[in-house]
Homo-oligomer: A and B are copies of this chain.
Amino acid sequence: MEYGLLLQNIAKHIQLSEEDKNYLLSLLQSKKLRRKSFLRQEGDITKAAVFVTSGLLRMYSIDKNGFEHILQFAPPGWWIGDIKSYITQQPGSLYIDALEDSEVLLLEKKHLDNLYEKVPAFERFFRILAENALATYQQRLIDNLSLPAIDRYNNFCRLYPSLIECLPQKQVAAYIGVTPEFLSKMLSQAPSSK
């Protein structure tokens, strides 16, 4: 179990006493995921916030033709989750699985709600987290609406230089919103600035 990464992540935005830290850690569960195993599937209710400590996860939806559309990758140090299902506590439509053997920390909603009461600083931490994620999704929506595929690809390379090296093209294609075939064709035509 690796708590250092999480505490580091939190310390960027709020200060915690030792007591608060210990209380937080007492609420966490650790979970190992083998490559290709699921953390959640369509229809599940999101009962916990998820923080990745090692490996690589992805969150995606599957459309009615069976195609995957990736909303987010989560390397170590990232949070991931179907937030709509978490908020409403209703079944959600998203899938989360591991692209590599991974390890995550789970913070259950009921525990997080207690945590908010006892350590209000966490309200701020998760507010900031949500605001940042919101900014990211706003930007990505703009990109999807207004940029051609090659620009979306280049943006992805710029934002996630470490991911582009370890991901198969197929996964990148499912993120930027094109077919693997088209991405291949596009890259062979444009040597790009990479």
Residues in B with CB closer than 8 Å to A139 are 84
**Residue in contact with A71 in the complex, picked from B120, B123, B138, B177, CB distance below 8 Å:** B138
- Is the Cβ of B146 less than 8 Å from the Cβ of A69? yes
- Is the Cβ of B144 less than 8 Å from the Cβ of A145? yes
**A140 to B123 alpha-carbon distance, docked (Å):** 26
- Is the Cβ of B131 less than 8 Å from the Cβ of A177? no
Given contacts A123-B124, A135-B83, contact A144 B141 (CB under 8 A): yes
Q: Per-position contact with B for A98-121: 1 when CB-CB < 8 Å, else 0?
A: 000000000000000000100010
Residues in B with CB closer than 8 Å to A84 are 135, 138-139
Residues of A within 8 A of B (CB): 61, 63, 67, 69, 71, 82-84, 87, 93-94, 116, 120, 123-124, 126-127, 130-135, 137-142, 144-147, 177
